């Protein structure tokens, strides 16, 4: 059932282009706009929404952090993202005009379920983004947008994460479309970009051998740090989470702009630092700032591993190792930049002799508190 792969995780990483394409299937109509019939919250109700709150745990929370950028960009509605385990014990300010989005692969995560109950008690509508048909979270929500990743067996979430990102972009674009917040052209162009992204995920997968080789050389390290900015910041958090759960290594993700506020003190000789480099096009100021972050940490002895777009030459002099990803629009970069981090963590786990699909102390769905 592992389809010739040593681990389910490897199989599921390889399935990502299809999972992404399947999640888009039937949701983009021939005219190039979105039809999300399953989202049974009516357009007039969606036009009333004045706040979006995303609740989730673990990897799904990271998808939520990325979704915030797309939702605020395409809808101009304020969006908050909160760990379900924190949200459920707060007294959040919600009402009938708040849209709460609960993201969960399994649909059974206790904290996320409790968070959505908490939101519904306050009259908010809840939209679930879920991968498991008929599970508890979608059953208790007002509407559900299913991700079509297929069954995810490995404890470490991979293809579910990419499809959660796709579903989040679909929601952001759909809300933008319904509310008419952005020029139709911009939404249509973004839908087109999204419809092509699975090909880019496929291309990244073809270039993963050097990432594996690099991971093997780091098997005896104690710490790996991850840096990112903008949508690259949650990608850094996700890279660190994967490494913790699979390689049992100390790994931390930071917002690159925070380096000077503390984390730079951690940089010492030969510590590996993975940097997610934003595109030099678009928000080029972010790119330039990250390049100077790479320079700074390298000057202090870090071993820099840059994940950068094809054709980005500015990083070359400062990257000890360079991992190339295809050119994508900024908001879609997480779909390609996360893949090498999954492969990296999986290979490090193997090199350290760890059980990849069933890491110690972890369960696939966390149905207890
Ligand atoms: O099933 P869910 O998406 O609700 O699960 C949430 C987290 O438990 C899950 O993403 C966890 O962090 C993964 N093991 C990470 O790889």
Atom 7 in ligand 1: residue holding the nearest Cα? 58
**365 C-beta closer than 6 A to ligand 1:** yes
Cα of 305 vs its chain's centroid, Å: 20
Question: Which of 58, 155, 364 should be mutated for ligand 1, with most atoms under 8 A from CB?
Answer: 58
User: How do residues 129-157 score in pLDDT, each as one tens digit?
Assistant: 999 999 999 999 999 999 999 999 999 99
Cα separation of 236 and 275, whole Å? 8
Say how far apart CA 253 and CA 85 lie, in whole Å: 20
Q: Which atom of ligand 1 is nearest to the CA of 164?
A: 3
Residues known to be catalytic: 364
Please state, in angstroms and rounded to a whole number, the distance separating the CA atoms of residues 353 and 351. 5
Distance 292 CA to ligand 1 centre (A): 34
Identify whether the C-beta of residue 241 lies closer than 8 Å to the C-beta of residue 250: no
pLDDT class of 194 with cuts at 50, 70, 90? very high
Q: What is the mean pLDDT of residues 47-69?
A: 97
Query: Rounded to the nearest 5°, which phi and psi values hold at 299?
Result: -60, -25
Q: What is the pLDDT of residues 257-295, one digit of tens each?
A: 999 999 999 999 999 999 999 998 877 889 999 999 999
Confidence (pTM): 0.97
The conformational region for residue 35 under phi > 0 = left, psi -120 to 50 = alpha, else beta, is beta
Residue 363 has, within 13 A of its CA and on its CB side, a CA count of 9
Q: Render pLDDT for 31-46 as a digit per residue (tens, 0 to 9).
A: 888 988 888 899 999 9
Reported in sequence order, the residue ranges of 16-78 that DSSP labels E, i.e. its strands, are: 51-56
pLDDT in tens, 298-330: 999 999 999 999 999 999 999 999 999 999 999
C-alpha 60 to ligand 1 mean position (Å): 6
Q: Is 105 in the pocket of ligand 1 (CB under 6 A)?
A: yes
256 lines ligand 1 (CB under 6 A): no
pLDDT at site 39: 86
Q: What angle do CA 220, 222, 225 make, to 5 degrees?
A: 120
Judge contact between 88 and 118, C-beta under 8 A: yes
């Amino acid at each position: 059932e592992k389809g010739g792969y040593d681990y389910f995780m490897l199989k599921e990483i390889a399935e990502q282009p299809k999972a992404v394409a399947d999640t888009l299937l039937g949701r983009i109509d021939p005219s190039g706009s979105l039809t999300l019939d399953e989202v049974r919250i009516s357009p007039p109700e969606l036009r009333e929404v004045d706040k979006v709150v995303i609740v989730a745990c673990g990897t799904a929370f990271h998808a939520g952090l990325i979704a915030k950028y797309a939702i605020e960009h395409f809808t101009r509605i304020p969006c908050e993202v909160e760990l379900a385990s924190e949200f459920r014990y707060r007294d959040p300010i919600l009402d009938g005009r708040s849209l709460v989005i609960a993201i969960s692969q399994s649909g059974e995560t206790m904290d996320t379920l409790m968070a959505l109950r908490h939101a519904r008690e306050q009259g908010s509508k809840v939209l679930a983004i879920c991968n498991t048909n008929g599970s508890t979270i979608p059953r208790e929500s007002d509407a559900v947008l299913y991700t079509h990743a297929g069954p995810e067996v490995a404890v470490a979430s991979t293809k579910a994460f990419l499809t959660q990102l796709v579903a989040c972009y679909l929601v952001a674009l759909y809300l933008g479309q319904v509310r008419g917040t952005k020029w139709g052209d911009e939404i249509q162009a973004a839908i087109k970009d999204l419809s092509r992204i699975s090909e880019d995920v496929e291309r990244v997968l073809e270039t993963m051998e050097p990432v594996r080789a690099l991971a093997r050389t780091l098997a005896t390290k104690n710490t790996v740090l991850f840096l990112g900015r903008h949508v690259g910041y949650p990608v850094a958090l996700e890279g660190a989470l994967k490494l913790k759960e699979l390689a049992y290594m100390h790994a931390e993700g930071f917002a690159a702009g925070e380096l000077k506020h503390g984390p730079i003190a951690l940089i010492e000789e030969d510590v590996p630092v993975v940097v997610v480099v934003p595109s030099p096009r678009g928000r080029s100021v972010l790119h330039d700032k990250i390049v100077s972050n790479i320079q700074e940490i390298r000057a202090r002895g870090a071993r820099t591993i840059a994940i950068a777009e094809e054709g980005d030459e500015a990083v070359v002099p400062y990257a000890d190792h360079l991992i190339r990803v295809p050119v994508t629009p900024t908001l879609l970069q997480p779909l390609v930049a996360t893949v090498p981090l999954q492969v990296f963590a999986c290979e490090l786990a193997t090199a350290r002799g760890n059980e990849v699909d069933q890491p110690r102390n972890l369960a696939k769905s966390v149905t207890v508190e």
